[in-house]
Structure 1
């Protein structure tokens, strides 16, 4: 059974080619039959200058949370269950959901065992992608899942109910499917879900796979691939099992799917609202050159695959729809500088224990195991400086799959190898 992380399948192939000390990956084509000579490797594009400075923020480190088990590829963490002593639901890629306490006690219990449903779901990005509690969970006991299925291959967004009481468990028989999106391939699923401050469910979907988005799905306004969707789970629109919010940006346009909130994403991984500003943040995994962070606004187009990061790619020199306006990422880093190869999204820090991180967007790279904080301007909309919080030590296991807050707003890092880590001051780590 695969234990690979979710960001995208190209990561492993690229990692094998990439000089991890900061070199550039070169794809070398095969020699022509009979010529006896290997062709020269193509020249890499010029290395762009870093648009913001990078510094190291000392005094921050990772502290592994101790449990009596490993968690098989953790991918998402819910908000806290009410009246449960701070329990949060940890979603594992292969179908297990555990209610965990992140207070150092090591307590966990089973919330939902979806592994029989996920039997045979073993490829790189297949599996569970997200879980989100309804904002009124305390009253209605509803929560939402994002996962994949085969035959036919598809993304499933569903609603389920949990039992009453202080230690609720899921009731699988109550599942109600809201949305099924056919998928052409088993990668670039995206799949993170979250509720916004408006009470609506936001869903991040990838472009469906293949290099360079050859079918231009991310820019096609009549498909849901490569989009962020916004649904009203409390109402119904016509015969749909969900409602279309009246203020969705394309709710009244016949040529655009009304579920779409924003478009132009390749493989969004990490979807989070800033509780102070209401800003929606999304990291988007790149193809060969760029990894990017986007501040997602209603109706905006973030470019893929007309654009790749802040640049126009040679594989699509003309936009799918002429005159399309696109929005640049807030920040992008490049593999050309050896900075990383698979971005992992996070959230804006609004906790109380680390004032030095206040207002920073925290994110990581799965391939390199680096953790950063992105310092923002006064409006919290543009990056001004990138701060290294942690670099993975050689020979250690750390492949981040998400940075997400605990019940108190303090950052928790999920890692593919089965561990959970707390990001905190080193003094606190030393005192443990």
Structure 2
């Protein structure tokens, strides 16, 4: 289930989960989870908690200063099911808001441009609740070369599609629709779990998140199959000459280059639906919010400088609990989440960013995440190997995505009522 899935198609059971340390003051809570997954299949069996390995980053309570009060103010409205917002990194001050139907709208000074920056509705299917135009990344040198990349589910069969476009030479507020070229179109049997996040890493390579292909419980077993790009984050080079048979190059230091039976694009795997991930613009650390099955939502972490190749566990595990099999699963070699919550607090995680803006110094270094259904929200901060998750007053419901502007200030878009809002401190 992606964050803009309707929460009313639920199948419920109960499971006792491990203690978490949350809040400004440390305290321990044992949670009874009410599972709720938007898939139409049978509910997952009761998971059995697994032990976190030493050094896995299990939440603790280091001495960090308390966070100030956080609120959101409306910037613009009237969007049709927005899925993402970002700046272009070109100093223009524009924000680009994706709409599920296949359009990108420009917001400048709180005003929405009359004409879309890009309109590819004819290429996009958005009939499934988790389908549509899902991701956007501007090239690091966009101001010079005008290149940007989008991720969508294709109208001709629903394939998970990555495409490149260029801005119009005549109008910086319009893309050239004729410039579009498909870099890949990965077939998918189900309409859900499409991933969709795109971001350039500090290394200049493009990272692409793909879900496990949909259906409940990873029926295709994609996420643990290195021959299948589904259920993984890819890392590709869009600047070097393409590799044979591909429309892009493969970085030579990708972890599975040269391994028989493995896709060389894969950077990390074992993911269910990594709807949103982000790089800390100061440290280069990678934060991944993976949407759970029937019991747990999780945040995964990859430190800057990692060689890649991490296995985040799905569908052997859901969060820190065994999923397949339901007990006694083999967790050695798996990277467990640095934070998780159960479906007593929500139904679908929307991952955000580590705040690095200038407006609110007290927030710097905090990674924000919220639940789509309930608005439950957390600020997660690291101090060395220690992690602290502070439960925040609830955010608005229906947050389909967080986003950053060029200066690192944070925004959200809400699926319905279709708004763009800015993070502020009370």
Pick the TM interval, shorter chain: 0.7 to 0.9
CA spacing shift, 1:414–1:171, aligned 2, 3 Å: same
More moved, 164-173 vs 204-213 = 164-173
Partner of 2:401: 402
CA spacing shift, 1:221–1:289, aligned 2, 3 Å: same
Give 1 or 2: higher helix fraction: 1
Separation in 2 of the partners of 1:208 and 1:254?
23
Pick from 384, 388, 408 the counterpart of residue 384 of structure 1. Answer: 388
Partner of 2:345: 339
Pick from 87, 93, 102 the counterpart of residue 100 of structure 2. Answer: 93
Give TM-score, length-normalised by structure 1: 0.82
- Alpha-carbon distance, 1:203 to partner: 0.3
Give TM-score, length-normalised by structure 2: 0.83
Q: Are 2:154 and 1:154 aligned?
A: no
- Alpha-carbon distance, 1:239 to partner: 2.7
Partner of 1:429: none
CA spacing shift, 1:411–1:304, aligned 2, 3 Å: same
Deviations 1:121-162 (A, max 9, x none): 311101011011111111211110100014423111011111
- Alpha-carbon distance, 1:81 to partner: 5.2
Partner of 1:30: none
Pick from 301, 313, 334 the counterpart of residue 323 of structure 2. Answer: 313
CA spacing shift, 1:26–1:63, aligned 2, 3 Å: closer
SS at match of 1:219: coil
- Alpha-carbon distance, 1:113 to partner: 1.5
Deviations 1:367-395 (A, max 9, x none): 10123211222x3x54223230x415xxx
Separation in 2 of the partners of 1:209 and 1:284?
14
- Alpha-carbon distance, 1:92 to partner: 1.0
Pick from 143, 147, 154 the counterpart of residue 148 of structure 2. Answer: 143
Partner of 2:337: 329
SS at match of 1:332: strand
- Alpha-carbon distance, 1:317 to partner: 5.4
Separation in 2 of the partners of 1:413 and 1:260?
29
- Alpha-carbon distance, 1:42 to partner: 12
Q: Are 2:420 and 1:420 aligned?
A: yes
CA spacing shift, 1:259–1:331, aligned 2, 3 Å: same
CA spacing shift, 1:132–1:169, aligned 2, 3 Å: same
Contact in 2 for aligned 1:81/1:88 (Cα 8 Å): no
Deviations 1:154-197 (A, max 9, x none): 11101111123673311111111101111010001111111111
SS at match of 1:217: coil
Pick from 172, 183, 206 the counterpart of residue 178 of structure 1. Answer: 183
Indicate the structure (1 or 2) with the bigger Cα radius of gyration: 1
Q: Are 2:13 and 1:25 aligned?
A: no
Partner of 1:211: 216
CA spacing shift, 1:248–1:116, aligned 2, 3 Å: same
Separation in 1 of the partners of 2:408 and 2:78?
24
Partner of 2:309: 299
Contact in 1 for aligned 2:103/2:121 (Cα 8 Å): yes
Q: Are 2:12 and 1:13 aligned?
A: no
Question: How many pairs align?
Answer: 389
SS at match of 2:321: coil
SS at match of 2:10: helix
RMSD of aligned residue pairs (Cα, Å): 3.1
Partner of 1:240: 246
Contact in 2 for aligned 1:24/1:44 (Cα 8 Å): no
Separation in 2 of the partners of 1:323 and 1:291?
18
Contact in 2 for aligned 1:15/1:367 (Cα 8 Å): no
SS at match of 2:322: coil
Q: Are 2:286 and 1:280 aligned?
A: yes
SS at match of 2:97: strand
Pick from 46, 57, 69 the counterpart of residue 59 of structure 1. Answer: 69
- Alpha-carbon distance, 1:256 to partner: 1.1
Separation in 2 of the partners of 1:26 and 1:221?
29
- Alpha-carbon distance, 1:10 to partner: 7.6
Separation in 2 of the partners of 1:205 and 1:357?
30
Separation in 1 of the partners of 2:135 and 2:377?
22
Separation in 2 of the partners of 1:277 and 1:316?
37
SS at match of 1:190: coil
Q: Which has the higher contact order (CA 8 A, sep 6+)?
A: 2
- Alpha-carbon distance, 1:402 to partner: 1.2
Matches within 5 A, 1:116-135: 116-118=122-124, 121-135=126-140
- Alpha-carbon distance, 1:25 to partner: 3.4
Q: Which runs of 5+ in 2 are unaligned?
A: 15-30, 37-42, 51-57
Separation in 1 of the partners of 2:122 and 2:99?
14
Separation in 2 of the partners of 1:263 and 1:75?
23
SS at match of 2:411: strand
SS at match of 2:8: helix
